[in-house]
Amino acid sequence: MKNVQDYIRTIPDFPHEGILFRDVTTLFSDPRGFRMAVDQMLHPYAGADIDVIVGLEARGFILGGAIAHQLGKGFVPIRKKGKLPGKTIEQAYQLEYGEAVMEMHDDAIEAGAKVLVIDDLLATGGTAEAGIKLLEKLGGVVVGCSFIIDLPELGGRKKLEALGMDVHVLCEFEGA
């Protein structure tokens, strides 16, 4: 019987030499693998008091939409700067070489809303931390963060747990 990790393809030297890219598109394209991932990501939060699912750009949209559907909740995207129409709030975060900015609509959630954050991969935790800060600016309460993959050597899980976050991952890969 396959597990989630068995559906994930590793592509060496992408996007740069020395990087082992963990490609979840092979997981998404397989109906059993995709259902398994969605079910396992939402399982710890089934029955929890959650108002909205938030997906981080871009693969978090695919997973977050499916999880929102399964839980009967709404979905809110957090996007890269300049991708959302209307009034937004933003949060900068550090990349390996430089800085990036995430945005969400300033009316995307109500103060006090209980939120589950979804993405495919947890590396340094910078994107997820930026998303959490955006949600907190609007008064959201993050009840958990769920990911398919953790790269533990990069420290993202420890960073999010230090922020008091409940972090759920389906599998880990060594290396960057």
| CB distance 30 to 56 below 8 Å | no
Greater pLDDT, 96 or 42? 42
User: What is the model's pTM?
Assistant: 0.96
Kindly indicate the confidence band of residue 176, based on its pLDDT and cuts at 50, 70 and 90: low
- pLDDT tens digits, residue range 1-19? 999 999 999 999 999 899 9
Q: Which residue among the candidates 9, 32, 35, 96 is catalytic per the annotation?
A: 96
Q: How far is CA 80 from the centre of its chain?
A: 13
Q: What is the C-alpha to C-alpha distance for residues 62 and 120, in angstroms, rounded to an integer?
A: 9
Which residue do the tokens 């068995």 mark? 6
* Range 34-59 average pLDDT: 97
Q: What is the pLDDT of residue 100?
A: 95
Q: What is the pLDDT of residue 164?
A: 97
* Range 49-77 average pLDDT: 98
Q: Which residue among the candidates 59, 79, 129, 157 is catalytic per the annotation?
A: 59
**Residue 96 known to be catalytic:** yes
